[in-house]
């Protein structure tokens, strides 16, 4: 299957299969693999092929683990990490993380929420290691899957990993904020990088009733695109799940995630994940102390009470009701 591999540099198939089966059991136990089609994808797509090396943090930097390490102890450590239910840093540049392989159980939840149907055309924003595109290709067929990334080194390695695993979806080097018009229309768009807002161009490349799932403000927003004349409108709510991804490059505000100053705020709020979500969602439009008053007045709302609406060139976040009283403009949606 795929490209030749030097057995001295890779685990034997039995060891990899055992590790993969253990990971699938762990994800399934969390309830994230109820769909038999996605269960089969996670059972059959070998994650270790997509992470031939990765980085683990250590004091002062990162330590590189790889499958070809001459030390068998480090090779076993690499394999355990490849099939652990956690994110893996796959590309670091000048000390900054620029690409990763997401936590498998989170990937499973996101793919389930994408709600694909046979025949759906899917655009993935952020190619990463290629593993997510392989799962989509297994489920839908590679001819229906497009994955795009701004960095040619990332797309080159993703394409090689996918081919080695036996999949050849369209891997495009380009600005994901602009989508991929030459492969449109899409029934589903899934982003694996954090957005400051939803790029306007995505809606124009969606078919009526399409679904967009993307990380935004440490949460996951699920948007349904309107039908017919309302094709430039999309709306939806956040999932309850927290999500922390590498930021999307190529859009205003798409650099490293900022942490808003919380000086003078009570520690119980400053360190609370749900309050930090509200701060991220309302950055630039709501003072942190006002955000705290709202958060406490509304009994510390969970992520699923928030949503996003896109209407033409405007988009805004809201609590409970898109028509108010709590609404906040989001930054312009990019190209």
Distance of alpha carbon 236 from alpha carbon 238, whole angstroms: 7
Distance of alpha carbon 92 from alpha carbon 197, whole angstroms: 25
- DSSP string for residues in 88-126: EEEEEETTEEEEEEPPHHHHHHHHHHHT--TT--EEEE-
Q: Which long-range contacts (CB under 8 A, 24 or more apart) does 51-58 make?
A: 51/81, 51/82, 51/88, 51/90, 51/101, 51/129, 51/131, 52/161, 53/78, 53/90, 54/78, 54/81, 54/82, 54/88, 54/89, 54/90, 54/101, 55/88, 55/89, 55/90, 55/92, 56/81, 56/89, 57/89
The single residue listed with the structure tokens 């080194």 is: 153
The residue annotated as part of the active site, out of 30, 57, 99, 285, is 99
Asked about 102 being catalytic, the answer comes back as no
Q: Find the helix or strand (DSSP H, E) in which 74 lies.
A: helix 72-82
CA 154 to chain centre: 15
3-class SS of residue 76? helix
- Token output for 17: 């299969």
Which residues form the catalytic set? 99
């Amino acid at each position: 299957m795929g490209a030749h591999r030097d057995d001295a540099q890779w685990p034997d198939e039995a060891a990899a299969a055992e590790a993969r089966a253990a990971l699938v059991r762990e994800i399934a136990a969390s309830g994230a693999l109820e769909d038999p089609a996605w269960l089969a994808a996670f059972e059959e797509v070998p994650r270790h092929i997509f992470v031939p090396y990765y980085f683990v943090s250590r004091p002062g930097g990162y330590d590189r683990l790889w499958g070809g390490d001459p030390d068998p102890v480090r090779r076993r450590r690499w394999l355990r990490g490849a099939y652990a239910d956690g994110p893996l840093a796959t590309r670091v540049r000048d000390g900054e993380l620029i690409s990763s392989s997401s936590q498998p159980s989170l990937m499973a939840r996101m793919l389930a929420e994408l709600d694909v149907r046979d025949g759906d055309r899917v655009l993935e924003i952020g190619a990463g290691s290629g593993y997510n595109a392989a799962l989509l290709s297994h489920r839908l067929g590679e001819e229906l899957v497009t994955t795009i990334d701004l960095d040619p080194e990332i797309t080159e390695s993703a394409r090689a990993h996918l081919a080695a695993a036996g999949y050849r979806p369209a891997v495009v080097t380009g600005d994901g904020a602009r989508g991929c018009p030459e492969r449109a229309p899409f029934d589903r768009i899934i982003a694996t990088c954090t957005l400051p807002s939803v790029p306007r161009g995505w809606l124009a490349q969606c078919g009526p009733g399409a679904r967009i799932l993307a990380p935004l403000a440490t949460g996951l927003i699920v948007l349904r695109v309107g039908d017919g004349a309302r094709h430039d409108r999309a709306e939806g709510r956040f999932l309850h799940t927290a999500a922390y991804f590498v930021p999307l490059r190529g859009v205003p505000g798409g650099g490293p995630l900022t942490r808003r100053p919380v000086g003078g705020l009570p520690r119980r709020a400053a360190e609370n994940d749900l309050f930090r979500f509200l701060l991220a969602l309302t950055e630039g439009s709501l003072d942190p102390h006002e955000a705290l008053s709202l958060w406490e007045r509304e009994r510390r709302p969970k992520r699923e009470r928030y949503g996003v609406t896109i209407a033409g060139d405007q988009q805004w976040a809201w609590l409970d009701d898109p028509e108010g009283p709590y609404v906040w403009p989001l930054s312009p949606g990019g190209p």
